Chains A and B, each alone.
Chain A
C-alpha cells in the first residue's frame, strides 16, 4: 500500500504541534506560578510531584472534571465555537514557524502574512465568545479587546513591514537565513538598515504583549475589575481552552520576535546553530513576558490606547521612513 509521504508528514506535524501547544500551555502555567512566587520570594507549587511538576496535570484533570455550564439564553453555536476559534488559529500558526533549518512544517513564501492572518482570528474568537454569552459586561470587555488589538496591530505591522523591507522576503526561513553568523548580524542590531532597530524590537515586543493580552495589557480578562472580562460566562474546559489559546499565542509571539529580531536558530557567536538556540531565545522571551507581568501593574485603558496611538505608532512610522531612506541611500 502506498501512502503519500506528504500525508505522513502532515499527520506527524499535527500530532507534534498539538502536543507541543498543550504541553507548553500546561508548563507555562507552571513556569508562571514558579516565577511569580520567586519574584515575591515564595516557593510556588511544590506539593504535587518534584518541584510541583505534576501540578499542571492535576490542574488539567480538575478543569476537565468541572461541569461545563452553558447558561440559558446564550447563542449555543457561537458560545461553543468561540474557544475553538481562539485555539485553532494559534495551532495553525505553528505551521510556518521554522524552529531550525529543517524543522518547519510548511516553508511558505508568505509565512509572515499567514501568521498575522491567523493572529487576527483570535480577536474574532474573543468577540464572538463574548457576544454569544449575551452578557453586557462580556460584550463591553470584548469591545475593549478589539480596540486594544486594533491599536496594537498597527505599530506591530508597521514594524514588520520595516523588517520585510530590509529582508526583501516574507519567508520566515529566509528572514532567519539572512541573519546568520553571530549576534551582530541579527536584525535587532542591524544599525546600518536603521539606527532605530533596537527600539523597533521594543515596539514589537510591547505590541506582542498587548496582542496576546498579557499584563500589563490584560484587559481581556482583568479578573479583579471585570471578573474575567470577555469570558465571564465560560466554565471548566471552555475557559481552559481560551487559556491554552492565550499561552499558545505567547509562544507564537515569542517565536516571531526570535525569528524577526534575534536571528532564529542562529548561535550568538556564530558557532553551532540549531533548534536549541531557537528554544533558548524563545523561552528567554517567554520568561521576560512573565517577568513583566509580575513587575508592572495593569494599565488603565486610556493609558493603553495613549501608549499605542501617541508613542508606538509615531515611532514605528519614523522607523519605517528612516529605513526606507537608508535603503534608498545605501
Chain B
C-alpha cells in the first residue's frame, strides 16, 4: 500500500518536473536558422563539389592540364582537356567537366593536384530535377565568377 502511494506521488511529481522543463524551453529564444532567408557560414572543412581555383596573379586557372586528377578519380567523374597555344608555356585548359552524379567526395583529386588548382567549393544549394544539372563545366563556372 505504501509502495503504491509512493509510486503514485513520485510518478506525479516526475510528470510535473517534465512539464517544468518543457515550459522553460518554451520561453527561451528560438535557435533555428530561417534557412532560405538566413544562412550560416560553412565550416572551412566542408566538402562540396570540386571547383577550380583562381590564380590571384593572372586571374586564370592554376591548372596545368597534367591530368593527374582525372587519373586519381576512382569514379571517373573528371574530364580534363587542353591544347598547345602559340607563345604560351605548357598547355592551356579548354575543358574541365565534373560529373557530380558519380562523385563520392573522396578528395583524391584535390590531393593529387600538385599546383593546388582544385579545391572543394562551399556550394550546398544543389537541387535539380534533371541529371544533366549535375554535370558541371568548371571552367565556365570559374569564368562566370571573374
Contact = CB atoms under 8 A, between A and B. Distances in A.
Interface of A: 35, 37-43, 202, 291-292, 294-296, 311, 315
Interface string B88-124: 0000000000000000000000000000000000000
A296 B12 CA distance: 12
29 contacts: A37-B30, A38-B25, A38-B26, A39-B22, A39-B23, A39-B25, A39-B26, A40-B25, A41-B29, A41-B31, A41-B32, A42-B30, A43-B30, A43-B32, A43-B34, A202-B12, A291-B19, A291-B22, A291-B23, A291-B26, A292-B19, A294-B22, A295-B19, A295-B21, A295-B22, A296-B15, A296-B18, A311-B8, A315-B8
A247 to B, nearest CB: 21
A39 B21 CA distance: 9
Nearest to A37: B30
Nearest to A216: B15
A295 B28 contact: no
Interface residues of B, number: 16
B29 A295 contact: no
Contacts of B21: 295
A35 B26 contact: yes
Contacts of A42: 30, 32
Contacts of A296: 15, 18
A40 B29 CA distance: 10
Tell me what chain B mostly uses at the interface: helix, strand, loop, or mixed: helix
A42 B25 CA distance: 10
Interface of B: 8, 12, 15, 18-19, 21-23, 25-26, 28-32, 34
A40 B24 CA distance: 10
B19 to A, nearest CB: 6
Tell me what chain A mostly uses at the interface: helix, strand, loop, or mixed: helix
B114 to A, nearest CB: 47
Nearest to A295: B22
B101 to A, nearest CB: 32
A18 to B, nearest CB: 32
A202 B21 CA distance: 20
Given A41-B30, A43-B34, A295-B19, 18 more contacts: A38-B25, A39-B22, A39-B23, A39-B26, A41-B28, A41-B29, A41-B31, A41-B32, A42-B30, A43-B30, A202-B12, A291-B23, A292-B19, A295-B18, A295-B21, A296-B18, A311-B8, A315-B8
Contacts of B32: 41-43
Contacts of B28: 41
A325 to B, nearest CB: 20
Nearest to A46: B34
Contacts of B22: 39, 291, 294-295
A278 B86 CA distance: 90
Contacts of B18: 295-296
Contacts of A315: 8
Contacts of A292: 19
A38 B24 CA distance: 10
A315 B12 CA distance: 14
Nearest to A202: B12
A202 B23 CA distance: 19
B58 to A, nearest CB: 47
Contacts of A39: 22-23, 25-26
A143 B8 CA distance: 28
B108 to A, nearest CB: 39
Contacts of B12: 202
Contacts of B34: 43
